[in-house]
Amino acid sequence: MIRYKSTRGSQNAKSSAQAIIRGIAEDRGLYVPDAFPALSKAPEDMLDCDYRQVAAAVLPAFLSDYTQEELRACIESAYDSKFEAPEVVPVVKAGNAWFLELYHGKTAAFKDMALSILPYLLTTAMKKEKEESKIVILTATSGDTGKAALEGFADVAGTEIVVFYPAGGVSQVQERQMVTQEGANTHVFGIRGNFDDAQTGVKRIFGDEACAAELLKMNCKLSSANSINIGRLVPQVAYYVWAYVQLLKQGVLKAGQPMNVVVPTGNFGNILAAYYAKQMGIPIAKFICASNENKVLTDFINTGVYDISGRQFHVTNSPSMDILISSNLERLLYHLSGNDGAQVKALMEGLEKDKKYQVSDKIKEGLKDFYGGFASEAQTKEAIGQLYRGEGYLMDTHTAVAYKVYQEYREATKDETPAVIASTASAYKFAEAVTAAIGLPEFRNGFDAISALNAATGVRVPKGLSNLEGRKVLHSGVVEKDGLWEAVRTSLK
């Protein structure tokens, strides 16, 4: 049975159900599997499987304390008609790559792939563990996680959800999605700060014993819907397995031949899921990590030094990647170090104290499977315009960052290995930037931009974004970056 241990060395191993309920380890580390399981089916034996069946071949391997019946119910409840694409995740050839379209869920972003199933995994875990406390989902978001988590947990019995987002640091559409969220157990706050401030504040609450004691008096326990929760990360592994199966099915690859994976990355969870898929047996040759102008990951992959000291924070047209502290990188460091929790703990303490760290030669050797590149705002817009004008394929800004970095990678390496690009959001979520990129007039109002983009391209507007402007604002709170705990307390009273 797979057990989950902390990246920072605690020997207090948990079952997957216990790790999902807790969200983060008691030593502030992240839960990782104590071994990587193999796929229960070879990819070439899944050519006739639908997405649910592929997920059912992946999730039980990691969540080994759940029964087959429990996981089947979670999977079938998550990946149903709420996804507008019949196949759930289309794999579409455009340019010289294959786009893994992860945005056909209710909130039009890839976070739906995991956050549609996490509430079912969590409530099942609560029953298994006979957990009677109310679970408080505490989440920081750079734009997409917040809405997907709110949508998933709205009115789920035994839970409350509190989301913090950077006020002014997300797109108009993203903000409106969150502040109009219905549900008696939903609470949304802007913070006067950036995503890193929100994430740091949330992590501080998780590690504060006084907060835990006060929550206990209210019969509440904290958990997370961020990708720091292993219940968020594991479902993401399934779509990389699905991608490989689809390339086999389309005749792009033969069984055993490798693919490359290109991921626009901020918090490192999405690309880490691809790394986990490789550990399960999916042949992935190169992990191409694409950043925007907040290129701390690009610099880290190229130098082995993670340094945010004095680094300027950029607000860009790909706001979900406006991140300098990439939480899930901690998990990769743990695996590449040979599961050395003490080493990872020292690196994280160095980041907190000195705003930088340098990894060992062993970790640097493991990073050779990764390529790091970045795209400016201008390059992002140029990539959107070129692919749309050339092939009529419309990308959002984050996917365009990945596409631009992939073009750079191909030119630099001459690597012809078929590449899957994680397409992380509908273009309509960032319509202001996309309209400008394809030569339409500039719109300050995101909803006007949606209308203009639809009229010009004929690309369907996702149901979750239709009539968004007219929905009533239900959450208007804005707090200082040191006021997160008070906002949580107020929400739970």
Which residues have a catalytic role annotated?
111
Structure tokens at 107: 């909130």
- End-to-end CA, the chain: 39
Question: Assign residue 195 a region: left if phi > 0, alpha if psi is -120 to 50, beta otherwise?
Answer: alpha
CA gap 457, 419 in Å, rounded: 26
> Distance between CA 426 and CA 396 in Å, rounded?
6
How many Cβ atoms are within 10 Å of 461's Cβ, its own excluded? Answer: 18
Which residues have C-beta within 8 Å of that of residue 185, sequence separation ≥ 6? 153, 154, 155, 156, 159, 160, 161
Place of tokens 């429990």: 70
Backbone φ and ψ for 220, nearest 5 degrees, come out as -125, 150
Beta carbons of 343 and 284 less than 8 angstroms apart: no
Cα–Cα distance for residue pair 276/113, rounded to 1 Å: 16
Query: Rounded to an integer, what distance in angstroms lies between the CA atom of residue 13 and that of residue 299?
Result: 33
